[in-house]
């Protein structure tokens, strides 16, 4: 136990690390956007911006780093290397700075100004790739760098590293099951790396096979929902199992944008674009029910999207 002396008073304190604050995020009920639902149907969202790096990606990034250190893949002298659309990169950078791990990231050049600025502030070496090539372009850039200098990097590979989905099996899933006292009937999540759905979904199915898993994705390959993938046209992440979800829903960019504004102005929840998409999908599921407990995740807050003036009109 550490001690802290203030004005001649000695106080016992427990010193927590940044990583101790990952997870155990609030599960918030949605009220006004659900007014048309039967009283026997509830919709909840995990508020993942309460993580220290500001998003759900803290869970996966921290588990990837810890697993790599334990295995010896990430050791002094190596840089962490990966591709990202922003949030996982911020998580890597946050824990990298705290743990003295240098980080190199590739991300599409059309990532929001805020995400790029945050990464630079945290000291990341950035490689911006062609926006038209999307996440695949960033992944290809990372693979080329790794091929040229394999001894320099630890390739975190969020799209293929099982530590990604295991983070959600070990934390997000158990938290949701406990917070709903096991009453959850439907879990809804967007697909990016797919780690949230793969890990949380597997845990929930292990607890109760009757829980339905619904995956949300953009309606087409060219869309405006940062962090989400159109799985029908995109390169599938290695950790993705298309057979795990019971159902898929396609979400229009415009519908997600409108929901982001509604959540801010009707619920006081200032969230990001993938959260808007998750809410659209969760409400569409809930509207078909006579009773049930629908849970989704809101991956991040809206602060990284303020430069999108059209969104906040």
- Cα dihedral 29, 33, 35, 39 sign: negative
Q: Strands 9-13 and 2-6: what pairing?
A: antiparallel
The active-site residue, picked from 42, 138, 194, 274, is 274
Other beta carbons within 10 angstroms of residue 151's beta carbon come to 6
CB within 8 Å of 258: residues ≥ 6 apart: 276
Please say if 309 is a catalytic residue.
Answer: no
Q: What is the Cα 78 distance to its own chain's centre?
A: 25
Region of 164 (left: φ > 0; alpha: ψ -120 to 50; beta: rest) is alpha
d(CA 221, CA 200): 25
d(CA 183, CA 197): 18
Contact between 253 and 224 (Cβ < 8 Å): yes
The active-site residue, picked from 42, 46, 57, 194, is 57
d(CA 33, CA 265): 10
Side by side, which strands form the sheet with 103-108?
Answer: 125-129, 103-108, 79-83, 153-155
**Exposed/middle/buried for 216, CB within 10 Å: 0-12, 13-18, 19+?**
buried
Please say if 57 is a catalytic residue.
Answer: yes
Catalytic residue numbers read 57, 274
């Amino acid at each position: 136990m550490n001690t802290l002396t203030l004005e001649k008073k000695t106080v016992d304190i427990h010193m927590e690390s940044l990583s101790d604050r990952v997870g155990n995020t609030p599960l918030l009920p949605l009220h006004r956007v659900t007014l048309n639902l039967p009283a026997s149907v509830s919709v909840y969202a995990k508020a993942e911006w309460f993580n220290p790096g500001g998003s759900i990606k803290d869970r996966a990034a921290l588990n990837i780093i810890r697993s790599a250190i334990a295995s010896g893949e990430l050791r002094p002298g190596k840089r962490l290397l990966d591709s990202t659309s922003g949030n996982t990169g911020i998580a890597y950078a946050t824990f990298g700075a705290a743990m003295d791990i240098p980080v190199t990231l590739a991300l599409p050049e059309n990532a929001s100004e805020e995400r790029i600025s945050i990464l630079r502030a945290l000291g990341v070496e950035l490689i911006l790739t062609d926006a038209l090539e999307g996440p695949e372009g960033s992944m290809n850039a990372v693979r080329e760098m790794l091929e040229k200098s394999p001894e320099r990097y630890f390739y975190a590979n969020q799209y293929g590293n099982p530590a990604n989905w295991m983070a959600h099996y070990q934390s997000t899933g158990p938290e949701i099951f406990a917070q709903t006292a096991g009453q959850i009937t439907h879990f809804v999540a967007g697909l990016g790396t797919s780690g949230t759905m793969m890990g949380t979904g597997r845990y929930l199915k292990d607890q109760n096979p009757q829980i339905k898993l619904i995956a949300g994705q953009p309606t087409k390959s060219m869309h405006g929902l940062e962090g989400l993938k159109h799985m029908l046209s995109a390169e599938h992440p290695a950790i993705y199992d298309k057979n795990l979800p019971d159902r898929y829903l396609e979400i229009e960019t415009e519908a997600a944008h409108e929901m982001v504004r509604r959540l801010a102005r009707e619920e006081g929840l200032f969230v990001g674009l993938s959260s808007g998409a998750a809410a659209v999908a969760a409400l569409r599921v809930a509207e078909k029910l006579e009773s049930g407990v629908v849970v989704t995740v809101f991956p991040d807050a809206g602060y990284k999207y303020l430069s999108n003036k059209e969104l906040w009109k």
